[in-house]
Amino acid sequence: MPEGPEIRRAADRIARVLTGRRVLSVEFSIPDLARQGQALSGAHVVSVTPRSKALLIRFSTGVVLYSHNQLYGRWSVDRASKSPDPRRALRVSIFTKDHVARLYSATDIELLDEASLATHPYVAQLGLELLDGTTTVEDAVHQAHAAPFQRRALAGLLLDQRFYAGLGNYLRSEILYVAGLRHSDVLGHLSSQARTRLGETAYKLTHQAYRHRGVTNDLARAATLKAEGLSFGRYRHHVFDRASEACWRCGHLIERVDVSGRGIYFCRRCQNYPTSTSDLPRPRARSTPRARY
């Protein structure tokens, strides 16, 4: 599922071609929305903004197009003359004179007014938006010290959109690794310094992922690995999706554990987990080099 950084980059692409432009037509594959969409012809796009993993497109008529990509949704931006991708299910098309923004495969799509948006069951419960332009690292740290979250274990808390909006599975593992924390740690049991470190890491790593196409690894290390011929998927992260590969930092084998059906990846040594040898994973053959950085 796309996470906050991916949705923010999609919003940027769409905003560049839609914001301030007059809309020629908005076409929906959903009959109820198709009828409402006819009223948007001739309107202007006021803004395109992400909210956690949702995208909000506001029109001058006061209507807001809400969409959530879920697992398979994807936005594209093309010249208006380009035909849609026949391999994907087209849900929404927004045409201007020069461009078209298309949403494929998503099913969570609504047309709302501002009042309905404010009480929307997904939007209304969202917490601190780390990629919002007004959010600071101090805000992220304050959230990590906020009373309502102190009884929560980090594994579940970092996926709870009421805490940090926009975090998902890859950012959860990467934040815990960089902060040197364990998924089983309870927020309120951490020292004040550790909670501050969690907030700072969540803010900085989410912004790095946004600026660098989802790369959460050390940027100098990632550049070196890329130059050595590793694929994007292999140099992108510290630990996520790297089970049984060597930790770039210490050489210990990365492990995976499933929590509520979703995988968390971690380095037992760097994150101070118990080191019983009976808990260590068996290595798998991989072409990725051992830790050297």
182-235 pLDDT per residue, tens? 999 999 999 999 999 999 999 999 999 999 999 999 999 999 999 999 999 999
Q: CATH 3.20.190.10 in the chain, residues? A: 4-125
The answer to whether residue 53 is catalytic is yes
Give the chain's mean pLDDT. 93
The answer to whether residue 226 is catalytic is no
The confidence score (pLDDT) of residue 286 equals: 46
Domain covering 128-279 in this structure, CATH number: 1.10.8.50
* Confidence grade of residue 276 (pLDDT, cut at 50, 70, 90): low
pLDDT tens by residue, 47-78: 999 999 999 999 999 999 999 988 888 999 99
CA pair distance 242, 233, nearest whole angstrom: 10
- Which of 16, 162, 213, 262 is the catalytic position? 262
* Confidence grade of residue 257 (pLDDT, cut at 50, 70, 90): very high
The answer to whether residue 2 is catalytic is yes
Taking residues 100-115, report their average pLDDT: 96
The confidence score (pLDDT) of residue 74 equals: 94
Q: CATH 1.10.8.50 in the chain, residues? A: 128-279
Taking residues 89-102, report their average pLDDT: 97
CA pair distance 150, 46, nearest whole angstrom: 39
The confidence score (pLDDT) of residue 260 equals: 73
Q: Is the confidence at residue 91, as pLDDT, over 70? A: yes
* Confidence grade of residue 281 (pLDDT, cut at 50, 70, 90): very low
The answer to whether residue 262 is catalytic is yes
Kindly report whether the global pTM for this prediction surpasses the value 0.95. no
In 10 A of CB 220, how many CB atoms? 9
C-alpha dihedral (175, 176, 181, 184), degrees to nearest 10: 140
Taking residues 121-150, report their average pLDDT: 97
- Which of 3, 6, 27, 245 is the catalytic position? 3
CATH code 3.20.190.10 for 4-125: yes
- Which of 53, 91, 236, 242 is the catalytic position? 53
- Which of 2, 5, 102, 129 is the catalytic position? 2
Pair 271, 177: CB distance under 8 Å:
yes
CA pair distance 237, 249, nearest whole angstrom: 12
Q: How many contiguous H segments (helices) and E segments (strands) does the chain have?
A: 9, 12
Residues in contact with 65: Cβ distance below 8 Å, sequence separation at least 6, in sequence order: 26, 56, 57, 58, 59, 92, 94, 109, 110, 111
Which of residues 35 and 277 earns the better pLDDT score? 35
